[in-house]
Structure 1
Amino acid sequence: MDVNLTQDLLGEETEADMGEWLVEDGATVAEGQVIGSIETSKLVNELVAPAAGVISLKKEAGDLVELDETLATID
């Protein structure tokens, strides 16, 4: 089952910039592992893997990310 990683904790912000990925597309990640970051005008938010599995990145560093948009999936 795929788990979608979305950005929904931006406070009043409705969009952000994809920061850096700390893992590569196709890598195996552990639940709770810090895998990247999202940057708003006010903060940098760490992205944590919600489940273990193989990650498929849907956004690249620097891409604009809107509220609830899928950043990656973990299978």
Structure 2
Amino acid sequence: MGITVIFANGDEAVVPSYVLDYLIKENKITAFRRTDGWVRIGEDPIRRSQKPLQHPGARWNDFLYKRS
């Protein structure tokens, strides 16, 4: 699925969704379009990358219900 982005030089393009995190991390884009509108990098909230569980081998369900 393609995502519309605006590059730092002002060009607009559709890129594959799997490249979005890379483009954000490398400061290659200034904005991207979600279904509910444009997201401006550095101004609007964007999701953070998922972090691995604290305990290797733990299941997500264990993490949610068996907190210490």
Structure 1 length normalisation: TM-score?
0.22
Higher helix share: 2
Select the structure of larger CA radius of gyration.
2
Higher relative contact order at CA 8 Å, sep ≥6: structure 1 or structure 2? Answer: 1
Structure 2 length normalisation: TM-score?
0.24
